[in-house]
Amino acid sequence: MYPTPDFAPTGFDPSLFLLTSYLLAGTGLVMTGAALLGVVTLPVFFLFVYAAEFALARLSESGLLVFKVALMLFRGLRRSPLRTSLTYLALFVLTFVLTMIYTIITFIGKATAEKEANFKIIMTEKYSIPSMMPPGYEDRLRAIMAGLPKELQPVNGDDDVIAWSFVGGTTDPSNPKPENALFMFCVEPRKIPMMMDGLEKKDLTDAEYADLQKNIKLMEEDFRRIIVSPSRLKKMNVQVGQKLKLTSMNYRDIVFEFEIVGTLPDGKYEGVGFCSRGYLDAMIRSYANAHNGEPHPLANKCVNLIWVRVPNRESYERIAAAVNEPRNFSAPAVKVETASAGIGTFMEAYKSIFFGMKFILAPAMLVIMSLVVANAISISVRERRTEMAVLKVLGFQPWHVAAMILGEALLVGAIAGAMSTAMAWGMLGNFKFQIAFLGAFFVPTEVLVIGPLLGMFVAFIGSVGPAMSAKNVRVAEVFARQA
């Protein structure tokens, strides 16, 4: 999520070429999985159709026209089960994949949106990536904020300030590889539920928050204790309760001895862990003691980010103006920006991929699935020409026939969209897809409404042509061929 040292926490090459390949491969896997889910849910779909038809048959005995029309539509779906199945599967896959894309795009949009009620700013080194600042910069920033008017100071005082240090290492320095790598955020443990996005009380269930608080208490009792995401523990083949030695890759000649005391809530900060900043400070001091007082090369560069929660934008602007003055911070120079801007800057590398997802992949899928639906319904219309001719003989107007075809398509679209998004929302809940430190994306509740509407929209687009063809069926020609 944020600028980091040149150490990939998940172990893969972060180049855009490979990332694009991963995205395409992931899309293919999602489509394959969606198709399999669609096949599995086909019996449920037809069971629903038959149950609805049975219920409507009883309700139509009341003589109400609406029940009779609905009954006709449901009966129409089972007259050509193969074509109906193809239409259902196409709409199911489309809705499922677009739900995943919508989830990623909206989740990132929320991450990069400024929150007036939780306005956070971030201070980093101005001209270098990764940012590396002296530890004294944190106190200087506090002094600047203390000089602000009371209404512009952080509401919770020091609890609204947190410094991050990054530690990346391996448990096997002779053979470093993704399976033995671990990337850590070194912070003050008690501030994790106060200042870490996604780990605040409002973001967690009661059980998750209680477990996090328990683990934080253990970390405060012994600064060698850490918490790690479940996915990283699985990748490293270790578990809670184990101890491990981590040879740092950015803090040369420092070996940490950690004890894993807990895990992060599922879907939060995937692929990384949290350790106590006090342990890092102690190891830096220990290095100096072991080297005749010579400080570690990163002793004066051990703060990577400083986060502050401020009450409003005016406070941010006053702090930014003070930080930009060379007399306050010059060696190195630093900058202050809103958290959303900082995340947006880091996400700039993914801009082309997001553009492709929104404006190439999603529209292409809409077009392709619309053509599939149009083809399936066109075949169904040709197979049912005699039925439509009979309807016209019985007094149905051409627009009645067209409306029947459109209604059947909309019905399939609504059911397929509803079942697809229900599966995505209910069964997946959140799915793992690593973009920076956004490791899990939660399927938003609104897809339960958007899904059926999307299915109906695509079904409508794909069925307009076949509906017009059905509308123009000539009774005389159909019966002449039959004769």
User: Average pLDDT for residues 11-15, to the nearest whole number?
Assistant: 44
Same domain for 186 and 223?
A: yes
Token couple for 135:
């530890």
What mean pLDDT is reported for the chain?
A: 86
For residue 193, being part of any structural domain is answered with yes
For residue 333, being part of any structural domain is answered with yes
- Report pLDDT digits (tens) over 93-107: 999 988 888 887 787
Same domain for 289 and 186?
A: yes
Same domain for 334 and 258?
A: yes
- Report pLDDT digits (tens) over 100-137: 888 877 877 666 555 554 588 999 998 888 899 999 99
- Report pLDDT digits (tens) over 48-60: 999 999 999 999 9
| Identity of the amino acid at 135 | P
Same domain for 456 and 324?
A: no
Same domain for 202 and 92?
A: no
Token couple for 80:
């050509």
Looking from the CA of 19 toward its CB, the CA atoms found within 13 Å total 20
Q: How sure is the predictor about 295, in pLDDT bands with cuts at 50, 70 and 90?
A: very high
- Report pLDDT digits (tens) over 224-240: 999 999 989 999 999 99
Same domain for 299 and 367?
A: no
Ordered DSSP codes for 65-131: HHHHHHHHHHHHHHHSHHHHHHHHHHHHHHHHHHHHHHHHHHHHHHHTS--GGG-EEEEEESS-SS-
Q: How far apart are CA 369 and CA 380, in angstroms?
A: 16
Count CB atoms within 10 A of the CB of residue 9. 27
For residue 8, being part of any structural domain is answered with no
Phi/psi of residue 17, nearest 5 degrees: -65, -50
Q: What is the DSSP letter of 425?
A: I
Which has the minimum average pLDDT: 46-55, 197-206, 247-256? 197-206
User: Average pLDDT for residues 33-49, to the nearest whole number?
Assistant: 92
Which has the minimum average pLDDT: 260-274, 334-348, 411-425? 334-348
Number of structural domains (the chain) is 2
Cis peptide before 134 (omega within 30 of 0): no
Same domain for 308 and 205?
A: yes
Whole-number pLDDT of residue 31: 85
Phi/psi of residue 254, nearest 5 degrees: -115, 130
Same domain for 198 and 326?
A: yes
Token couple for 88:
């259902």
Whole-number pLDDT of residue 477: 82
Identify whether the C-beta of residue 256 lies closer than 8 Å to the C-beta of residue 246: yes
Domain that holds residue 363: 16-112+350-482
* Spacing of C-alpha 271 from chain mean position: 15
Q: How far apart are CA 1 and CA 347, in angstroms?
A: 8
Question: Last residue of a domain, which of 349, 379, 399?
Answer: 349
Query: pTM higher than 0.85, yes or no?
Result: no
For residue 286, being part of any structural domain is answered with yes
Question: Last residue of a domain, which of 349, 367, 402?
Answer: 349
Same domain for 268 and 366?
A: no
Same domain for 190 and 44?
A: no
- Report pLDDT digits (tens) over 304-343: 999 999 998 899 999 999 999 988 998 899 999 987 766 6
3-state secondary structure (DSSP) of residue 182: strand
User: Average pLDDT for residues 344-373, to the nearest whole number?
Assistant: 76
